[in-house]
């Protein structure tokens, strides 16, 4: 088990991994909710195809989750190596 600075890196890495998983799951849920809502409104195909009016894209949440998980894994590895 790491001690001192290594323990700090492990804790911060675990927090980043947890936040990354939460953010990725949030993005997947937002995407599913959006597409389900659009599928129930077949008369409004323009919004589905043109993405107008613009909405926050769930893809940004998913990408942010991947980035946070990657940083967390790197910090965990550094913490266990220290």
What's the pLDDT tens digit per position in 56-78? 678 889 999 999 999 999 999 99
pLDDT tens digits for range 15-36:
999 999 999 999 999 888 887 8
Q: Is the pLDDT of residue 8 over 80?
A: yes
∠ at Cα 15 (14, 20), nearest 5°?
100
Number of domains in the chain: 1
Residue-number span of the structural domain to which 55 is assigned = 5-81
């Amino acid at each position: 088990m790491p001690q001192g600075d290594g323990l700090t890196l492990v804790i911060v890495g675990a927090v980043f991994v947890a936040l990354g998983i939460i953010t990725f799951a949030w993005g997947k849920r937002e995407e599913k909710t959006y597409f389900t809502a659009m599928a129930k409104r077949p008369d409004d195909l323009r919004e589905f195809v043109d993405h107008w009016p613009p909405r926050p894209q769930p893809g940004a949440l998913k990408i942010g989750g991947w980035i946070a998980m990657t940083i967390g894994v790197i910090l965990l590895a550094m913490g266990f190596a220290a």
